[in-house]
Amino acid sequence: MLGQTNEVQTGYSQDETATILKSFMARVFMWMTIALGITAFVAYFFSKSEALMGMLYSAEGGMTILGWIVMLAPVGFVLLMSFGFQKLSAPVMIILFIVYSLLMGMSLSFIFMTYTTGSIYLMFLIAAGIFAGMSILGYTTKIDLTRFGSIMLIGLVGVVIASVVNMFLRSSALDFIISIVGVLIFIGLTAYNVQNLKRIGSGMNMSDSSATKQAVMGALTLYLSFINIFLFLLRLFGKSK
């Protein structure tokens, strides 16, 4: 009965819907993997060059003007891709995503100055394992995570506000709490976002340019979840140099 209902609603049979969904999700994870690869390579490459790091950080340890631009620019890219989704073409969305991942690599190069290489690799592997597990859960669960996702988004707003406040308070205890809550929120959002992408991908016309744009936006969403899980874990368990 479920297969018949799906066929009426989307115009595809159950088997065709499953094939389309797999193709869509494969694109999402492909673009996410490419972006993570670019970010990791650029971050490592910059960290190995004193000249490049000198462009971002001053001798006193503070950020240069270029460093601030690099740190804040990704936020602008996310907003541009989100609000310009309808007007931007698929190739432009892809270019923006690639440039975004490059800028993120530049801004994340600081972790190699702050933490030991071993702890960075270890936290990355742990983050990858957690992300994979929650992605599988989000894809396979029959429970509707919509309400759960809404709660996670509210919690995310709280984490952002608390982080801004702690920039002035500089409380190590509050930073610890924010990191724990942040990890839990992005773990939950991973499952929610994967389930949401599963809904979007079902019955989508993969030959339509909007499918590519949706895949890129989906990749951006999952990329952000992974990066934040990794960074919060690093703040909690990373070994400082």
**pLDDT of 52-98, one tens digit each?**
999 999 877 789 999 999 999 999 999 999 999 999 999 999 999 99
Q: Rounded to whole angstroms, what are the CA distances from 11 to 17, 76, 200, 204, 233?
A: 9, 38, 15, 10, 44
What pLDDT does 194 receive? 97
Residue 237 and residue 125 in contact, taking contact as beta carbons nearer than 8 Å: no
Mean residue pLDDT across the chain = 91
User: Residue 153: pLDDT above 60?
Assistant: yes
**Lowest-pLDDT choice from 8-22, 131-145, 213-227:** 8-22
DSSP assignment of 135-169, as one string?
HHHHHH--S--HHHHHHHHHHHHHHHHHHHHHHHH
First-to-last C-alpha distance (Å) of the chain: 60
Distance CA 193, CA 28 (A): 11
Q: Length of the chain, please?
A: 241
- What percentage of the chain reaches a pLDDT higher than 90? 83
What pLDDT does 202 receive? 83
User: Residue 5: pLDDT above 70?
Assistant: no
Handedness of CA 188, 191, 197, 200 (dihedral sign): negative
User: Residue 159: pLDDT above 60?
Assistant: yes
Residue 117 and residue 236 in contact, taking contact as beta carbons nearer than 8 Å: no
For residue 161, what are its two tokens? 């506000």
What pLDDT does 12 receive? 61
Per-residue pLDDT band for 46 (boundaries 50, 70, 90) equals: very high
What pLDDT does 208 receive? 76
Sequence letter at residue 123 = M
Angle between helices 14-47 and 2-10 (to 10 degrees): 70
**pLDDT of 129-147, one tens digit each?**
999 999 999 999 999 999 9
**Lowest-pLDDT choice from 14-18, 66-70, 124-128, 173-177:** 14-18
208 or 115: which carries more pLDDT confidence? 115
